[in-house]
């Protein structure tokens, strides 16, 4: 899906260094510059909505997050000149790569495999063209693509065109596809729990009264309850159903009940998030959507140790884009809460477990009515 020059197509040493490129590109100091363009994309997109109406939230967020990804990850060349082509190619790539059959038989000569490979070739060609144009013109941009182009391995070797294209397709998948799923689940859960929706709205009211309509990186960090709402949605609907790890040496696991299990070297172990995130002695009433469980005084995600909460994986494989993911979902939902009255029209969505990255099944229909939580109104509350 991402090419043979990156991720699991290379040895562990190279893969670890490529992971470091992501960490450097997405560290807080570099994330700050993405807030303004994210806001511009969000405001421009929702300005097209009418005074009231009904939309498929999943489809709307998919399109918006592709716009944000094009702007912040891929750069203005894609956003301004190649968006439709890249959006179409990426949609084709993900639709034909995320079925379970693609995991079990990735090279089977099926129509799905051919569509996947054709889309990957098209995207790689587009990104290679952008890389060459930037290098020939000596133009430098503030986007993740530029960071990956400028990255170097520890021996001083720069990244190749094939590596950069593979890395950018991989981060595009993480930044757009998984964020579409998590932002949709966040909305579906919020709109199904009135008390949580009111608490999230109250938080926005306080921030508006304190800062006006301004939003920057530091203000996003103050949206602690909205953060917990997203985190709880990911606990209940992780974008990956399980993580797999190869055992390199024997070790023993001791359970709470005192039982011991010997895990032999060479075996593969699975860490299923759908079980880990629903253990009742860690998460009280795990089937209940309760963002407060992560708040001060409860902090249930720390009860069982540092790997109690695994929505963004952990250890050396921890997702380097966690802060970026929270940031863009906060930008979207803070805008929606401030500017629209929202109601979930369709029934709460079921999970499509046939996808490699589980997502809401079918449409998530939401009705909206435009409003404005202005500072002047808040002062009279």
Binding site residue list for heme: 319
Write out the binding residues: 319
Q: Which helix (H) or strand (E) holds 246?
A: strand 242-246
The position carrying tokens 């979207």 is 332
Backbone angles phi, psi at 35, to 5 degrees: -65, -50
Q: Return the CA Rg of the chain.
A: 22
Joined tokens for residue 17: 């260094």
Q: Are 173 and 322 in contact (CB under 8 A)?
A: no
- Dihedral of the CA atoms 188, 193, 198, 203 (nearest 10)? -60
Residue of 224, 246, 210, 243 lying closest to 292 (CA atoms):
224
Contact criterion met (CB below 8 Å) for 220 and 330: yes
| Closest of 4, 22, 16 to residue 324, by C-alpha | 22
Exposure letters 350-370 (e unless 16+ CB within 10 A, then b): ebeeebbbbbbeeebbbbbee
Render 187-206 in DSSP notation, one character per residue: HHHHTT-HHHHHHHHHHHHH
């Amino acid at each position: 899906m991402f090419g043979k020059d990156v991720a699991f197509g290379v040895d562990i040493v190279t893969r670890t260094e490529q992971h470091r490129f992501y960490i450097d590109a997405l560290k807080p100091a570099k994330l700050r510059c993405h807030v303004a363009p994210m806001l511009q994309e969000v405001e421009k997109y929702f300005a097209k909505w009418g005074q009231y109406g009904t939309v498929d939230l999943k489809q709307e967020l998919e399109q918006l997050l592709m716009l944000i990804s094009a702007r912040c990850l891929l750069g203005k060349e894609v956003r301004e000149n190649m968006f439709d082509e890249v959006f179409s190619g990426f949609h084709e790539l993900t639709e034909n790569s995320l079925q379970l059959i693609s995991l079990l038989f990735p090279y089977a000569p099926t129509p799905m495999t051919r569509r996947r490979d054709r889309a990957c070739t098209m995207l790689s060609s587009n990104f290679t063209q952008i890389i060459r144009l930037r290098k020939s013109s000596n133009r430098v941009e503030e986007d993740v693509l530029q960071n990956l182009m400028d990255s170097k391995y520890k021996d001083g070797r720069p990244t190749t065109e094939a590596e950069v294209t593979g890395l950018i397709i991989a981060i595009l998948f993480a930044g757009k596809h998984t964020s579409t799923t998590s932002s949709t689940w966040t909305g579906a859960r919020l709109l199904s729990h009135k008390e949580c929706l009111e608490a999230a709205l109250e938080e926005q009211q306080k921030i508006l009264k304190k800062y006006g309509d301004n939003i920057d990186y530091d203000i996003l960090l103050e949206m602690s309850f909205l953060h917990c709402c997203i985190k709880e949605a990911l606990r209940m609907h992780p974008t990956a159903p399980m993580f797999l790890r190869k055992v390199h040496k024997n070790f023993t696991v001791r359970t709470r009940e005192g039982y011991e299990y010997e895990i032999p070297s060479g075996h593969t172990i699975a860490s299923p998030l759908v079980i880990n995130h629903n253990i009742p002695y860690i998460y009280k009433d795990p089937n209940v959507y309760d963002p407060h469980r992560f708040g001060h005084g409860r902090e249930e995600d720390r009860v069982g140790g540092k790997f109690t909460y695994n929505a963004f994986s952990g250890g050396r494989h921890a997702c380097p884009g966690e802060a970026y993911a929270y940031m863009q979902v906060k930008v979207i939902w803070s805008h929606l809460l401030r500017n629209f009255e929202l109601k979930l029209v369709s029934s709460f969505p079921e999970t499509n477990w046939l996808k490699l990255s589980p997502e809401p099944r079918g449409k998530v229909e939401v009705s909206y009515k435009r409003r404005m939580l202005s500072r002047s109104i808040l002062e009279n509350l």
